Homo-oligomer: A and B are copies of this chain.
Amino acid sequence: MHNRRVILKSRPLGVAQAENFAIEVNAVPALAEGEILVRNEFLSVEPAMRGWIAATAGYATPVAVGAVMRSLAVGRVVESRHPLYAAGEALVGWFGWQDFAKVGPEAVVRRVTETDLPLSLALGVLGINGVTALLALERIGAPRAGETVLVSTAAGSVGSAVGQIAKILGCRTIGIAGGAEKKRACVEDYQYDFALDYRADDLDREIGRLCPEGVNVYFDNTAGEISDIAHKHLAIGARIVVCGTASIASWEDWPTGPRIERRLLVKRARMEGFIIFDHMDAYAGAVDRLANWVREGVLRYREDILEGIDACPDALAGLYRGENLGKRLIRL
């Protein structure tokens, strides 16, 4: 048996491109006591990977040059030398961009218990995207029924879940996305009350028109100019969930923008960063709630599945080119 592994070949400035990765083929290694061997079935492609690769200190230790690309994956145990795991079980974990992962139990995020649903969902709407949407919205956004929730990258894998969950919680939802197709997906697929295309619509005027009493929760996946406009429309006591900075190509040369202090002061607003890894205690419970909403048909999702490990090297760059509509995955 051989193991194909996607290696970080060189550290990029900005978003990693295909040439920053290489595919190596090795023998599947033998297990030590306490380890398990997982055959990956789906690999995840996340916007956050940019930060995991960047040389500048983020919230995670950078992936080393020469190491397998860090990734969540879902797969099945093919061999176990750990008493808690048995061959055949489906697991989600930090298994990396490779066919086989030889790991200890610390790499396992959870067992897949929703066996009635497609396995791939464990990396999307039932994975860190969906769990991030739910926990960041509830814990930082704290939306109350009747409030207005504005979401950037509203058709993305986090944003689309945020909009639907806010709707389930009784909020009025407005999604911002790029392009007519994503704008349409916001309303038709993800049940947003209104959607705006930041490329075609006058965001300032439209947000003002749709939110005459201001935005109560701004769920921010982009930062940048879209957010600068959103910040002008905060309601008193608004909450801004800082979940991602997708519109900023690079923080190496730190970007500037309108100062936020007076917006927060005048509106007594709160702005807070959210990283899912601080909330792993609530992960399994969140997955259960999300899975029930999926079964009830009130939480919809889209997937963008690329075939085969050869698709990995360019998959992240493609995400930043905006070519996917739905959660990007690699099927092995």
Contacts and interface: CB of A to CB of B under 8 A. Distances in A.
A272 B264 contact: yes
Contact of A270 (B267, B268, B271): B271
Contacts of A243: 265
A265 B248 contact: no
Contacts of A265: 59, 242-245, 273-275
Given A270-B270, A270-B272, A261 B227 contact: yes
A255 interface: yes
Interface string A261-288: 1111111111111110010000000000
Interface in A193-235: 220, 223-224, 227
A243 B264 CA distance: 9
Contacts of A269: 272-273
A260 interface: yes
B259 A223 contact: yes
- Please give the count of copies of this chain that the complex contains: 2
Given A271-B271, A271-B272, A272-B271, A259 B266 contact: no
A26 interface: no
A56 B185 CA distance: 38
Interface residues of A, number: 36
A270 B262 CA distance: 15
A267 B268 CA distance: 21
A262 B251 contact: yes
A268 B278 contact: yes
A256 interface: yes
A274 B224 CA distance: 24
Contact of A257 (B259, B274, B278): B259
A271 B264 contact: yes
Nearest to A224: B259
A184 to B, nearest CB: 28
A170 interface: no
A322 interface: no
Given A220-B261, A261-B242, A58 B266 contact: yes
Contacts of A259: 223-224, 248, 254-257
Given A256-B257, A256-B258, A258-B256, A264 B273 contact: yes
Contacts of A258: 254-256
A109 B172 CA distance: 38
B245 A261 contact: yes
B59 A262 contact: no
Contacts of A267: 59, 273
Nearest to A59: B266
A71 to B, nearest CB: 20
Contacts of A248: 259, 261-262
Given A268-B274, A271-B270, A260 B260 contact: yes
11 contacts: A242-B261, A242-B264, A245-B261, A245-B265, A248-B262, A264-B272, A265-B273, A265-B274, A270-B272, A270-B273, A271-B271
